Amino acid sequence: MLNFNKPCYIGKEETAIQEAIANQKLSGNGPFGLRCTNWLEDYLGCEKAILTPSCTGALEMTALLIETNPGDEIIMPSYTFVSTANAFALRGANIRFVDVEPETMNISPAAVERAVTDKTKAITVVHYAGIGCDMDAIMEIADKNNLWVIEDAAQALTSTYNGKQLGTIGHFSTFSFHETKNITCGEGGALVINHTASVERAEILQEKGTNRKQFAKGMVDKYSWRDVGSSYLLNELSAAYLWVQLEHAGQIMDDRLKTWRKYYDGLKSIETISLPHVPDECTHNAHMFYIKTEHRHELMNHLKDNGIMAVSHYVPLHSSHAGKQFGKFAGEDIFTTAESDKIVRLPLYYGIEEKDVDHVISRIKHFFKL
């Protein structure tokens, strides 16, 4: 069976992990953690980056940083992973799910604008498949209504919008290093802070609500409990694995983009399917390649019979049990459900062989009798 995903592995990760062990510093914010955050800050050009155990943890931190309170409304797409909503539901917020734009599956700015009320506190956007949302329109709405903007950039490291790195446009952003992501350490994430006044508090929240980070810098003579928080720290063994991947980020992206383009060129002649759309103002990182078809289940079964694992994606959150409990759809669901029901994601990972990609393309063409 051709796997849908294989965790990225460069071949130098063991050496880095052995170095971390030799350093005798395995908890968070060690030497490898510092290398990773420095890389992120330099590459992204952001105010501050901190490593977290997951993108979920980073999202939970944003909910704390914007002081989410019961009754606050957070606008986000329904077509996203549960963590995007969970982070704010945990703080008692009401989730306002809105529709997506069918070409990209990204949040619709027009739907966002219609969903704003006097209780709205923030807009959380999701850069689906590593392709940027219309951030100019989103930031204009936010500025007009004095709202926070959080970029869920879990899939979008190294992608850009109008020349800017995704994750550096909103007030906060979150990245994922889960094993399904382009760059991974198994489980891990990062919080990027583009709001200067929130940097110190983010460091306190990360360290269980203490000012331990300031103590480590010699800024205070002892540390104490200062705020709410939790253990939002990535351990050094994971950071060591991650560091190797970040060092080879260009190599990883080039390899994935080559596969993405091969899929696109090989499938663009099939008139009865839709391929990913990349707006002119965006560059992407080849996080995934998907097609849309009215015959999703039949195609997935056909590919499985031919030794290929292809998968669907999110079930829109507003239709889930918890989604109905903690939020509601604002406006009309024109595209979210209809378009998400068509998505088939194809195998794409670092090091996938060209013959395997050719096999997937040929089996899809065979299904559509081409």
What are the catalytic residues?
A: 181
Nearest to 239 by CA among 68, 67, 1, 38: 38
Instruction: In whole angstroms, give the CA distance from residue 175 to residue 52.
Output: 9
Instruction: In whole angstroms, give the CA distance from residue 99 to residue 14.
Output: 44
Instruction: In whole angstroms, give the CA distance from residue 140 to residue 5.
Output: 37
- Residue pair 299/290 in contact (Cβ under 8 Å)? The answer is no
Instruction: In whole angstroms, give the CA distance from residue 276 to residue 298.
Output: 20
Instruction: List, edge to edge, every strand of the sheet that includes 120-126.
Output: 48-52, 189-193, 172-176, 148-152, 120-126, 73-77, 94-98, 327-329
Looking from the CA of 149 toward its CB, the CA atoms found within 13 Å total: 29
Alpha helices in 116-231 (DSSP H): 135-145, 199-206, 212-216
| 55-65 vs 199-206: helix crossing angle, rounded to 10 | 130
